[in-house]
Amino acid sequence: MTTALETRSVTKTYGIGSGSIKAVDQVSIHVRSGEFVGLVGPSGAGKTTLLAMLAGLLVPTEGSIVIDGQEIGKMSEAQRSRFRREKIGFTFQANNLVPFLSALENVELMLRLNGKLDRAGRARAKELLVRLGLGGRLNNLPRQLSGGQQQRVAIARALIHSPALVLADEPTASLDTERAFQAVETFSDLVHEQKRAGIMVTHDLRMCQYADRVIQMQDGVVRRVIEDRQEINALAQAGKHELAPALVPAVEPRPNGRFRGQLPAMTPGTLASITPSTR
Ligand code: ADP
Ligand code: MG
């Protein structure tokens, strides 16, 4: 497998002087083609900042990023924007679908932007949406789709132009559990089949079961990289226990159907508390 992405001591500092925040601190990672990597860690760990740098949307304060053999820091703004359009696919938590384009047109858009929307491209866009369970929704506008369906359109859009690198930031945040598992499994399958390099940020450790490798970040640094299958499965299993109390109200419903007291909430600390540290 070839290395599709490599970062060398990538650092991002927001602001200057005493009020500055090192959101990403000397991160060196690599992802091979055909590899699906999970990026986890508590809120504020620097995951989104790292992803934005990998996407060429944010310029690192220090360090370098090489994607498909090219260092994106050495490109002009115009070159980088073209490179991003052709080589990188992404989907963020807010899926950013174009509201006045249908599901199919939203996916085709990535081909159109690259001047590659031909008959074969159109057929592939359709095929991908069918694969993601949206065959009956091709001509619907985003507002006519559920949150989960919109997210799957966004996944198709991230993959359609055959990018070397696919980035997803919390792609399952708006999905129910079953849909989330399906979407991530298909995402992972497509990354493997099409030999893309995939990185998925998730706060839901259960999704790690579809990852070949898991990178744990905390306070801007990589705390741990997990490659062993059994360890990854154990982490995904821990995620089940992590989320279970949040899904089941720990309080009895009153006769009128209202809950007494507060529903337990997921806090960033709950993830941190079960995330083993290598310190
Ligand atoms: P995560 O995605 O893991 O929750 P982020 O990358 O969003 O983490 O944030 C990492 C740290 O950087 C946090 O402390 C956050 O408050 C800070 N941060 C993120 N974006 C900005 C910004 N645009 N300006 C200043 N600080 C920021
Ligand atoms: Mg984030």
The per-residue pLDDT for range 6-43, each reduced to its tens digit, is 999 999 999 988 999 999 999 999 999 999 999 999 99
How far apart (Å, rounded) are the C-alpha atoms in residues 124 and 129? Answer: 9
Answer yes or no: is 8 within a domain: no
Q: Ligand 1 pocket test: pick from 12, 13, 14, 48 the residue with the most ligand atoms within 8 Å of its Cβ.
A: 14
Among 42-46, 120-124, 237-241, the least confident range: 237-241
Instruction: Kindly tell me if the per-residue pLDDT of 1 is higher than 70.
Output: no
Q: Which atom of ligand 1 is nearest to the CA of 15?
A: 25
Q: What would the mean pLDDT of 189-193 be, rounded to a whole number?
A: 94
Answer yes or no: is 102 within a domain: yes
Answer yes or no: is 61 within a domain: no
Instruction: Kindly tell me if the per-residue pLDDT of 253 is higher than 50.
Output: no
pLDDT of residue 273: 37
Answer yes or no: is 15 within a domain: no
Q: Which atom of ligand 1 is nearest to the CA of 49?
A: 6
Answer yes or no: is 138 within a domain: yes
Contact at 8 Å (CB) between 183 and 171?
yes
Q: What would the mean pLDDT of 181-203 be, rounded to a whole number?
A: 93
Helix locations, 114-207, DSSP H: 119-131, 147-159, 177-193
Q: Which atom of ligand 1 is nearest to the CA of 52?
A: 6
CA of 52, nearest ligand number: 1
CA of 173, nearest ligand number: 2
Answer yes or no: is 101 within a domain: yes
Q: How far is the CA of 169 from the centre of ligand 2 (A)?
A: 7
pLDDT band at 147 (very low <50, low <70, confident <90, very high): confident
Q: Which atom of ligand 1 is nearest to the CA of 43?
A: 4
Q: How far is the CA of 117 from the centre of ligand 1 (A)?
A: 36
What is the pLDDT of the chain when averaged over all its residues? Answer: 86
CA of 50, nearest ligand number: 1
Could you give the number of structural domains in the chain?
Answer: 1
Burial environment of residue 223 by CB neighbours within 10 A (0 to 12, 13 to 18, 19 or more)? middle
DSSP 149: H
Instruction: Kindly tell me if the per-residue pLDDT of 174 is higher than 80.
Output: no
Answer yes or no: is 65 within a domain: no
Q: How far is the CA of 143 from the centre of ligand 1 (A)?
A: 30
Q: Which atom of ligand 1 is nearest to the CA of 217?
A: 3
Q: Which residues line ligand 1 (CB under 6 A)?
A: 14, 21, 23, 41, 43-49
Its sign, for the CA torsion 200, 85, 137, 140, is positive
Chain position carrying tokens 């085709």:
108
Q: How far is the CA of 259 from the centre of ligand 2 (A)?
A: 31
User: What CATH number did the domain enclosing 186 receive?
Assistant: 3.40.50.300
Q: How far is the CA of 228 from the centre of ligand 1 (A)?
A: 30
Q: How far is the CA of 221 from the centre of ligand 1 (A)?
A: 13
Q: What would the mean pLDDT of 217-232 be, rounded to a whole number?
A: 96
Backbone angles phi, psi at 154, to 5 degrees: -65, -35
pLDDT band at 267 (very low <50, low <70, confident <90, very high): very low
Answer yes or no: is 235 within a domain: yes
Q: Which domain holds residue 178?
A: 30-45+76-246+263-274
Task: Report pTM.
Answer: 0.84
